[in-house]
Amino acid sequence: MTRLIFSFVLVLGGCGDAAEEPTPSATESVTKGDDPLSASEASTTVTTSSTTTSTSTSTSSDESSTTAQTCDKRVVVMGYWPPTNEMLRQWSTNAEQNPDGWAGEDWRGHGYDVLSFFPEFPPDGDPTNDEIGQDGAVGSPDFDLRVDYQATSADFWRIVDELDPIILVTTSRGGDIGWEIEAIEGGHGSKNPSDPSLDWASDQHGAVQQPTEATIDPRSWDAISTHRQGMTVPSALPLDAIFDATDALAVTSVVIENGTSGNFLSGFLGLHGVYYQLHAKHALAAGHIHVGFGLPVADATALIEATVEAVILAHPADAAACP
């Protein structure tokens, strides 16, 4: 297939629908080297849905060298509406969401554990049967990453604080597209000089329908209040390697998108991913993928596997420092 790189066009059908976009030519990008602030580095013991894992930060080069040989190194992948939740099931440690059992331990022998998190949409699993903001489109409160600003903020930070992923891939459903690799995030609000929460389209759910300072994690607020009005954050994924690996499957169109994931929940989650990588010293890669709403689950699964493997190959576990 011919490689395609183009600007974002608003499409219906997913968590990425946007009211406005930053103009890429007018944006400024922040890179990890520009912002040395690190995430919390306290020694903790954390519990996931199926395992208890100890993580710690070394205090000397000798300790770091020793820990690097023994610590768990993790890839976290997040999804939203189908097919992005369905394509991630194999990596969920939640037995209710993945009754076939977790397949992410030392995935393909690469030295990384892969774990996934995503919502469920009862009663029929199809959010398109419900209006935006209704419970059937937002997702069950019993599972992670409801399509809601407050729930996404809380769940995102709980997950990454517990697992300290070295690689983080966020995904969401788009419209009539194939596999869209997002190159930048943030930068919204060019026509809004005041409240950053108003940069974001209403999620139409609950009493508070925008990501206000009082209702989201302080780090979420820092992300959306800092990276706006043309200030974007570039993807930290190996875009070309992902393109090559996924395009080779020849199952759908693959593009590198030079716009953003939008100013709805897709862009909100996507900005969280790159913001996390920007601030977490140990994090090597993060970025967002938009997935076409009509993509069959089997194809989407093959594409996310190729994507994750391409990122891992770009950042081998034996060269990655422990969190």
- Kindly report, residue by residue over 202-259, the tens digit of the pLDDT: 999 999 999 999 999 999 999 999 999 999 999 999 999 999 999 999 999 999 999 8
Coil/strand/helix, residue 253:
coil
Sequence-distant (6+) residues with CB within 8 A of 185 are: 227, 232, 233, 235, 260, 261, 267, 270, 271, 273, 274, 288
Q: What was the pLDDT predicted at 56?
A: 35
Query: For residues 297 and 281, what is the distance between their CA atoms, to the nearest angstrom?
Result: 34
Tokens of 210: 């925008």
For the CA atoms of 16, 17, 22, 24, the dihedral, rounded to the nearest 10 degrees, stands at 60
Identify the helix (H) or strand (E) that includes residue 297: helix 297-314
- Per 3-state DSSP, the chain is made up of helix, strand and coil in percentages (nearest 5) of 30, 15, 50
73-90 pLDDT, tens digit per residue, is: 999 999 999 999 999 999
* 288: β partners: 170
Q: Residue by residue, what is the 3-state secondary structure of 41-71?
A: CCCEEEECCCCEEEECCCCCHHHHHHHHCCC
The C-alpha torsion from 276 through 279 and 280 to 285, rounded to 10°, is 60
Q: Tokens 């949409």 belong to which residue?
A: 121
Q: What confidence score (pLDDT) does residue 259 get?
A: 85
Q: Output phi, psi for 276, to 5 deg.
A: -60, -50
Quick one: pLDDT at residue 287? 98
**Chain centre to alpha carbon of residue 96:** 22
Instruction: Kindly report the pTM of this predicted structure.
Output: 0.83
pLDDT at res. 318: 95
Cα dihedral 214→215→218→221 (10° resolution):
-90
- Strands 254-257 and 4-6 turn out to be parallel
Q: Amino acid identity of 135?
A: D
Amino acid symbol at 262: G
Low-confidence ranges of the chain (pLDDT < 50): 1-13, 17-21, 23-27, 34-68
Residue of 265, 255, 174 whose CA lies nearest to 224: 265
Residue 224 phi, psi dihedral angles, 5° rounding: -80, -20
Give the pLDDT score at 268: 97
CATH superfamily of 19-36+68-319: Peptidase C15, pyroglutamyl peptidase I-like (3.40.630.20)
Adjacent-strand bridge partners of 234: 184
Residue 70: C-alpha distances to residues 44, 65, 241 (Å): 16, 9, 28
pLDDT of residue 70: 74
Chain center to CA of 107:
19
Q: 29: which strand partners?
A: 232
Question: What CA–CA distances, in Å, run from 2 to 20, 206, 243, 247, 255?
Answer: 28, 44, 11, 9, 9
